[in-house]
A and B are shown apart, each in its own frame.
Chain A
Amino acid sequence: MKTFFNRHLNILDYAIGNLWRGRFRSVSILVVFTITVFMVASFSLLSNSLRSAAVQLLETVPEIIVQKLEAGRQVGISIDEIPKLDTIYGISEINPRIWGYYFDEINGANYTVIGDPRFGRDQLIPGLPLEMSSPEKLNPAISPAVVGTSFVQSRRVGQRSNFSLFRPDLSLKSFRIVGSFSDRSSMVTADLLVTTIEDARDLFQIQANQVTDLLVSVANPSEVNVIAGKIDKILAGSRVITRNQIQKTYQVAFGWRSGVGLICMLGAVTAFAILAWDRASSLSPDEAREVALMKMVGWQTSDVMLVRFWESAVLSTISFGLGYMAAWIHVLFFKGALFLPILLGWSVLKPPVVLVPVFRFSDLLLIGSLTIFPYLAATIIPAWRSGTVKPDALV
């Protein structure tokens, strides 16, 4: 056993010495390889951290959401439909809600407006944790609003309490800020404007008996799917979304099949093709002479292949180490700065994204198998070719 280790250590020494002698070429491969690992690992860690955030933050999403579709598009649902669901045993509560998007023509931002029936002109939503809450500002004559941090920044509200939004007929509707969400909850509330259901209806000019969706609470969580099926049968043309489906969405939403994922993968494959080509076509006269001399002093083809394997292993390990570590620093401390512009796209509001990846051994293996193994595989044939050089042909 000791002989075995000594042999490999000696060959490793020799391989590192070889890499050092050809350091210009080694460093160029190292840089390309490190960048490849960095890109693949950064994407993997970014998607990992978004999935992890979704799991932690969306654990309390509604058990069932009921929407109505018409010609494949979501339309309002009548509150007259609610009594039809009374026959379903197991439903503990049904909350109608109005929500929609408000496009701010002043700055091009999109806000999410929610009208909640528990929010009144004389009372805040019970149990809603707020950073700033001013119930004394509630006034029966003025529409109250609770807003997110990006909304406040985008509208430049500052110390003011009042602001106005346009109705579809371009008349102005005034709101008074009576509370704001903490920036610790920005990952879900940054663009929110929560108001009373009547004020949301007035802002969007929605008919009196219409709401956007129904939030259904179920007494026994194990019955959610059965109840969802019953609702689907009773309300024709409805779309019933369960908590499980919402949570699953984010488990599959960020993956290698996305555009950016494919670009990273394609980049990795191209980089490896170049590296493999470099390795396959780079048996220089000096290297060939070196192999010939090695064989003359008694080295076998397998020994030469072993040297080449260790050279590849050392290069790929160093590149993987540097690239993987850089990717962690990139995602954890720089919030995935390279991918963030894609993540935010053309968003005018820039919600503060918090990315905290979770270490998973499976991710490490996946990144390794996407980067190290192809490189090692690509160097087998060149290693064999260099090992089979005839000494008498060169010396």
Chain B
Amino acid sequence: MIRHATFFLLFCLLFVCFNAALWIYSAKHQQTLAGDGLVPEIVGTLGLTDLCLATDARYIRHLSVSDPLSPYMNHPGALEHFPSSALYVPR
């Protein structure tokens, strides 16, 4: 009869194998991100600065060329209210 400890160690091994498979799959798909060099070429040619993730707030769409006060510039006492900005660290 297989002892409990062996079951547990087998689970640990299975976990490592499954995760290793995910890591390898992920590493192979890294190349698809850059579209085989297409994206850096477009970025370089057009002088783009940011990822196109959220397009609701201007300062989130172009995060790297906005300053930290941009969300509060709509009017005096303006509060930040865009949900997408909840994912970004305030700079």
Contact = CB atoms under 8 A, between A and B. Distances in A.
B3 interface: yes
A113 B31 CA distance: 28
A260 B26 contact: no
B4 to A, nearest CB: 4
Given A60-B44, A127-B45, A254-B88, A343 B54 contact: yes
B79 interface: no
Q: Is the interface of B mostly helix, strand, loop or mixed?
A: helix
A358 B15 CA distance: 18
A72 interface: yes
Given A57-B40, A345-B56, A9 B5 contact: yes
Interface size bracket, B side: 35 or more
Nearest to A356: B29
Interface stretch (A225-233, A288-296, A316-324, A383-391): A316-324
Residue of A182, A254, A347 most packed against chain B (CB within 10 A): A347
Contacts of B78: none
Interface residues of A, number: 91
Nearest to A263: B86
Interface in A205-263: 213, 215, 239, 241, 245-246, 249-250, 252-255, 257-261
B37 to A, nearest CB: 9
Given A53-B33, A60-B43, A72 B53 contact: no
B73 to A, nearest CB: 6
Contacts, number: 236
Interface in A108-136: 109-112, 114, 116, 125, 127-129
A129 B87 contact: no
Contact of A346 (B7, B50, B83): B83
Contacts of B26: 328, 332, 356-359
Interface of A: 9, 12-13, 16-17, 20, 50, 52-54, 56-62, 65, 67, 72-73, 95, 97, 101, 109-112, 114, 116, 125, 127-129, 148, 150, 181-182, 184-192, 194, 213, 215, 239, 241, 245-246, 249-250, 252-255, 257-261, 314, 317-318, 321, 324-325, 328-329, 332, 339, 341-349, 351, 353-354, 356-359
Given A60-B40, A359-B27, 11 more contacts: A57-B43, A58-B49, A58-B50, A97-B47, A129-B42, A148-B52, A184-B35, A186-B52, A261-B89, A328-B26, A348-B56
